Amino acid sequence: MKHQPIGIFDSGLGGLTVVKAIQKELPQERLVYFGDTARIPYGTKSPDTIIRYSRQIIRFLLSREKVKAVVVACNTSSAWALDAMRKEFKVPILGVIEPGAYAAVEVTRNGRIGVIGTEGTIYSGAYLKEIHRLMPKAKVISKPCPLFVPLVEEGKLTGFVAEAVVVEYLKPLLKEKIDTLLLGCTHYPLLKKTIQKVSGKKVKIVDSADETARTLHRNLEAYGVELSGHGSGKYYVSDLSRKFKENAQRFLGRHINRVEKILIEKY
Ligand code: DGL
């Protein structure tokens, strides 16, 4: 068991932000990543479709790589598919919603928490539910920010356009005097600088990647899964576009040399 890798998946390459955090927390671990680049975005799709896609990816990770645990790095999949997947598969499955909510509740002082994510994630109410479970009196103000993903994919992370979009989406949350803003989407950490500039110093920005890595560390021990001892990464995608290298570099902070394209519908 201990030599088997941990599988991580996302709707695209954004989940590499979670890979980066896990590599830092568990440098000795073997990681296998799957990015569903052919079918991104998940954020606008229906729950049925998200569940079907997530199932195919977990089947692939289990049959091809015999993963010992799965991390659902995608917020939208974590919101809609996590419960169903935990019922269907025996392998431990960790999503990003619980760690993200935990991190936000730890940080807030006034109990007023802003949550932003894709339409799917926000309308699922998953973050709201989890934050209220941990802090029943919290005031949660949520908002989908559908233009953030294309902004990040285009590399528009700072500057006039990024700032105008961030102002537009965050205005109603800032008016509610939030002191914590939870970035509930794989792509949003890349906009952190602009989001912080617009929100001001008093608002603490929290993303789930680091807390997910810490939770994974704790849970692996709880599940009795030993660490593998030789860190390495393997990368799969469902489409290898012209922009792959540029985008992967943006999310992971370094180049990925070897990547394999998979026909995920087969699984
Ligand atoms: N990975 C998705 C998430 O974290 C964002 C991109 C998408 O819409 O698929 O919700």
Closest CA to 134 of 110, 111, 157: 111
- 123 and 85 in a common domain: no
**Based on C-alpha coordinates, what's the Rg of the chain?**
18
Residue 103 lies in a domain: yes
Residue 1 lies in a domain: no
Residue 157 lies in a domain: yes
Helices 16-25, 208-222: inter-axial angle, 10-degree rounding: 50
Alpha helices in the chain (DSSP H): 16-25, 47-65, 75-88, 97-107, 119-124, 126-134, 148-153, 160-175, 192-199, 208-222, 244-252
- Average pLDDT for 240-260: 87
pLDDT, mean over the chain: 93
Is residue 145 among the annotated active site residues?
Answer: no
Question: Band of the pLDDT at 227, cuts 50, 70, 90?
Answer: low
3-state secondary structure of 231: coil
- 113 and 21 in a common domain: no
- 198 and 126 in a common domain: yes
The pLDDT value recorded for residue 230 is: 65
- 110 and 84 in a common domain: no
- Domain's final residue, options 189, 207, 225: 207
- 162 and 81 in a common domain: no
Structure token digits, residue 62: 């289990």
The pLDDT value recorded for residue 219 is: 83
- 220 and 187 in a common domain: no
Question: Band of the pLDDT at 224, cuts 50, 70, 90?
Answer: low
Residue 163 lies in a domain: yes
The pLDDT value recorded for residue 243 is: 83
The pLDDT value recorded for residue 18 is: 94
- 108 and 58 in a common domain: no
- 190 and 115 in a common domain: yes
- 193 and 116 in a common domain: yes
CA–CA separation, 42 and 50 (whole Å):
7
- Domain's final residue, options 178, 207, 236: 207
Ligand 1 atom at minimum distance from 79 CA: 10
Catalytically annotated residue among 74, 209, 216, 252: 74
Cα 93 to Cα 66, 87, 165, 203, 256: the distances in Å are: 14, 10, 34, 31, 25
The pLDDT value recorded for residue 228 is: 62
3-state secondary structure of 50: helix
Residue 177 lies in a domain: yes
The pLDDT value recorded for residue 1 is: 65
Print the domain residue range for 175: 97-207
Say if CB 208 and CB 97 are below 8 A apart: yes
- Domain's final residue, options 177, 192, 207: 207
Q: Is the pLDDT of residue 189 over 90?
A: yes
Ligand 1, atom 7: nearest CA belongs to which residue?
41
- 186 and 103 in a common domain: yes
Find the residues whose C-beta lies inside 6 A of ligand 1.
10-12, 14, 40-43, 74-76, 117-118, 121, 149, 185-187
Q: What is the CATH number of the domain that holds 237?
A: 3.40.50.1860
Q: How far apart are the first and last CA of the chain?
A: 23
- 187 and 245 in a common domain: no
- Average pLDDT for 244-258: 86
